[in-house]
Structure 1
Amino acid sequence: MADDTSDSQLPQLVYVPEVDLEDFEDYAIGDTLQDGRYEVIHKLGYGGYSTIWLARDNRWQRYVSLKVLVASEGSKSAGADMIRRLHTGSDTTHPGQQLMPRLLDEFSFAGPNGTHVCLMQEPAGCSIAASKEKSVNFMFPVETARSIAAQLIMGLSYLHSRGICHGGRLHHPALSYTHCSRNPDLHLRNVLLHAPGLEKLSLDELYKLYPVYKAPITRMDGAPLGPHAPSYAVYPMNTKVAADKLVDPLIKICDYGTSFLPATEPSPTLHTPPLFLPPGDFFNEPITLAADIWPLGVSLYEVLGERALFEFFSDDRDDILADVISTLGMPPARWWSHWENRKDFFEKDGAWISNM
């Protein structure tokens, strides 16, 4: 499939979309990379800028996570640079370092869409968000929730000790929040659980536990498939563990593709869903490491409780800010006085306008 994503236009649909499947690229189960060293054997997931495959490292006889970036991401990966920074010249005594992904290998290959950067890491399981969605009551056991919360705090502490802000700067201005299936920010879809014992499974055992389910690929216009499109798409492995059944969790904080260093890149434009934007961004205040604290707090609330703290049904910033104030109370005076549209929602004393 031609890679239509650019900074000036949104991707155009060529193939009929399937639920839980990404835009199709030129690889499938059975493909090998790096002169046969890595064999693609299943799919772990996908996001707005990449597909993550489970591969077999035939040199070291182990399973690895193979993250293949879309060709439009160029020949270098900012995420790889950040991961290297997390494990280079750092304080190995910090308890949060073990919660960081480790880059095992990095290479590129040329395809019909351009050059794809591949990042090799240890495989991980489902996200914290997916675990909650699978449970009956959307709740973790108390000790499990406390453990996840503590790990999130330790992990963010380590990130900040390395000068990294996880919250993503704007990467593709043309992609709106609704067009990105995953967002590279500090939220529960980017917090993954440790893989469920994959290293102990033979390939036959793995396929028995996690069968490969395929879907045929068809074009929107009914034309024949292009020469570089696979004949089928693969659904991700179902590694979800229900939140109410989860004990002794070990998490990994992932996705650094749009993370940045505030010391060298002050006040970038954030590529963040409105729900996770720090309130200061609404008022054009400088973006610092503190930008991660708001999404951390929102995530901790969701980990420790049943529902999300905010459940917005609008991308309008004023609507969102009004809901935040309704939930948490009056903001600092400097924000309240500079919010031009507050009169549409609140009286001068902070009371809701009666006709709303």
Structure 2
Amino acid sequence: MSPRQHEDDDSPWPRFVLVDLVDLGDTEDFERYGPRGFHPVHLGDVYGDERYRVVHKLGAGGFSTVWLACDGTEHRWVALKIVIAEHSTSVYSKSQLSRHAALQCAGDEEFVVEHPHFTLDGPNGRHLCLVLPVLGPSTSQLSAGFSSRIRPWLSRRASYQATRALAKMHTQGLCHGDVTTANILFGLLDFDRYTESDIYRLFGKPEMTLLETYSGERPGPGAPSYIVKPLDFLSSKESIISKDVRLIDFDQSFPVSSPPERMLGTPVEFLAPEVAVGLKASPRSDVWALGCSIFRLRSGESPFSGYEVTSPADLMKIIIQTLGDMPSSWEDILFDYDGQPTKEPTKGEPLEKWEGKRPIKDLVFKIRDQPENSVVDTGSVRPEHQVWGEDENKPYPQCFSDTVWKPTATEIDNTYLYGYDDETDALLEAMPKISENEAALLYDLLSKIFVYDPQKRLSAREMLSHPWFHMDGLLLKECT
């Protein structure tokens, strides 16, 4: 890769050596450690007038890093979200609306509201710091392709709770604006009872890797000396993960009466088609994103994602493959070179369709589930494969048996799932499928969500009575 100049300063790009992300897990973009970027955090750092001491890392996103910190004043654990300097001002203004939104809806602890907030000045600028309750893993982490899958009953329960939370927001005249599986998190059971030594006993001490530069020089004050691997809640032999989920991150929420003029910052795969073509978002756009989340929760995959889906134009192409042609009133909409909708004829072109069809019914009825005892024997002889990592084919600890299962720990004819290729397709065919009864119910629900006309979509309130949510009877009664 030929270096270019970093957009924020005069240093060559890329500056930092890319470490093994498989070992490090999901983490922040190192190149954003610079002017107006991330604040460099080290374990043991103390923030907020010496109140919050960093003990571990919880995660990172495009605009922030999130840290497990000990509140020395109230003697409890908090999640400290440190926003990049470039977006701290805008996130602060949005956080005021998000706080108001969550407070309006927070009656049953389904929503997360930040506690105090403060700013800190660092080498890369001024950063907003939000203090949040500590939550467990996201549904995105626990339902992710071959890596992990949520148990069917729990996926229905979590979907119901997320739907109920969204319905409450809409009743208050508010849209969430960023409903994704990354923003639906499982709670933790009495987390404040644990000491720092308990945290290390349960999850191990933080794993770190040095941050190295291509030049061989030290990273400098604008970057940390090392990158911390996020805490893995599934690494413990003792489960502290609750069976209840909470809806978080109201940074893109808005009043129903005042939809944003610009396109939502929601990940492309969750955008409703009307938003993708440049029309305004609404509560029914939230519902579309919720439908995408429900499918991901139950199947481990997103219905409108793929390596080739990187822009609204790409999204519309795959949606057309799934739903058929878009409304005639949208056919004149143009997309620019970056795949964004545009009203300027000189900068855009009509959408070019992709060939092939992928009906939502087929996607639902092909959902794979765990075989009994995680073993499938078809009588075929298959070649062994090279294991990716030491723990790749080990199941989760027994304490998570009612929560999640690991597809790569499924033995199929003496081999394992290991990647996306022709051999894996054959292995998947040997896996049991979702029951026809459940598939029919889930398809019925999603077919009433994945429609072009927002007015013809179910509302979140209407979704709550759908029989797919209530297949487990008493399990869902606990949610009401």
Aligned AA for 1:151?
A: Q
Q: 1:231-289: CA deviations, max 9, x gaps?
A: 222111011489xx999621122222333334234433222333222111243333323
Which residue of structure 2 lines up, in the alignment, with residue 57 of structure 1?
Answer: 71
Q: Does 1:203 align with 2:196?
A: yes
Residue in structure 2 matched with residue 15 of structure 1 by the alignment: 16
Q: Aligned-pair distance for 1:91?
A: 5.7
Post-superposition Cα deviations, 1:16-39, rounded to whole Å, max 9, x if no partner, equal: 233233235322111111232111
Contact kept, 8 Å, 2:187 with 2:242, in 1: the verdict is no
Instruction: State the distance in 1 between where 2:218 and 2:299 align.
Output: 49
Report sequence identity in percent: 26
CA distance in 2, matches of 1:283, 1:134: 28
Is 2:97 the counterpart of 1:86?
no
- Which of the numbers 34, 45, 49 marks the counterpart of 2:59? 45
Structure 1, unmatched stretches of 5+, are 168-184, 348-356
Q: Is the 8 A contact 2:188 2:241 kept in 1?
A: no
Counterpart residue number, 1:35:
49
**Equivalent position amino acid for 1:36 in 2:** E
> Match of 1:73?
87
Task: Tell me what 1:256 maps to.
Answer: 250
- Whether the aligned pair in 1 keeps the contact of 2:185 and 2:248 (CA below 8 Å) is yes
Give how far 1:152 is off.
Answer: 1.2
What residue identity is the alignment partner of 1:125? G
| Residue equivalent to 1:305 | 299
Aligned pair in 2 of structure 1 residues 279, 197: CA closer, same or farther (>3 Å)? Answer: same
Matched, 1:125 2:136: yes
- Following superposition, the deviation at residue 296 of structure 1 comes to 0.9
> Following TM superposition, by how much is the alpha carbon of 1:226 offset from its aligned partner in structure 2, in angstroms?
1.2
Q: Distance in 1 between matches of 2:209 and 2:106?
A: 45
**Alignment partner of 2:173: what SS?**
coil
Equivalent residues in 2 for 1:212-291, closer than 5 Å: 212-240=206-234, 249-291=243-285
SS at match of 1:308: coil
Partner in structure 2 of residue 324 of structure 1: 319
For 1:176, the equivalent position in structure 2 comes to none
Aligned letter for 1:205? D
Q: Distance in 1 between matches of 2:50 and 2:240?
A: 37
Q: Is the 8 A contact 1:85 1:162 kept in 2?
A: no
Shift of the 121–72 alpha-carbon distance from structure 1 to 2, 3 Å rule, reads same
Q: Does 1:189 align with 2:161?
A: no
Letter in 2 for 1:164: L
* Bigger Cα Rg: 2
Contact 2:124 2:222 in 1 (8 A): no
Is the Cα contact below 8 Å between 2:43 and 2:55 reproduced in 1? yes
CA distance in 2 between partners of 1:125 and 1:344 (Å): 40
- SS of the residue 2:17 aligns to: coil
Q: Which is bigger in relative contact order (C-alpha 8 A, separation at least 6)?
A: 1
Q: 1:153 to 1:201 in 2, by over 3 A?
A: same
| Residue 182 of structure 2 is aligned to residue 161 of structure 1 | no
Larger mean Cα displacement after TM superposition, 16-25 or 249-258: 16-25
The equivalent residue for 2:160 is 150
- Secondary structure at the residue paired with 1:124? coil
For 2:174, what is the secondary structure of its paired residue?
coil
Counterpart-to-counterpart distance in 2, 1:230 and 1:157: 42
- Relative distance call for 1:260 and 1:41 in structure 2 (3 A) is same
Backbone CA RMSD of aligned residues? 3.2
Alpha-carbon contact 2:117-2:131 (below 8 Å) kept: yes
Distance (whole Å) between structure 2 residues aligned to residue 86 and residue 107 of structure 1 = 20
Aligned 8 A contact 2:277 2:312 in 1: no
Structure 1 residues 141, 282: closer, same or farther in 2, change over 3 A?
Answer: closer
Aligned to 1:118, what secondary structure does the other structure show? strand
SS in 2 for 1:125: coil
**More displaced 10-residue stretch of structure 1: 54-63 or 225-234:** 225-234
2:189, 2:240 within 8 Å by CA — same for their partners in 1?
no
List gaps (5 residues or longer) in structure 2: 1-5, 34-38, 335-348, 357-480
Residue type matched to 2:63 in 1?
A: Y
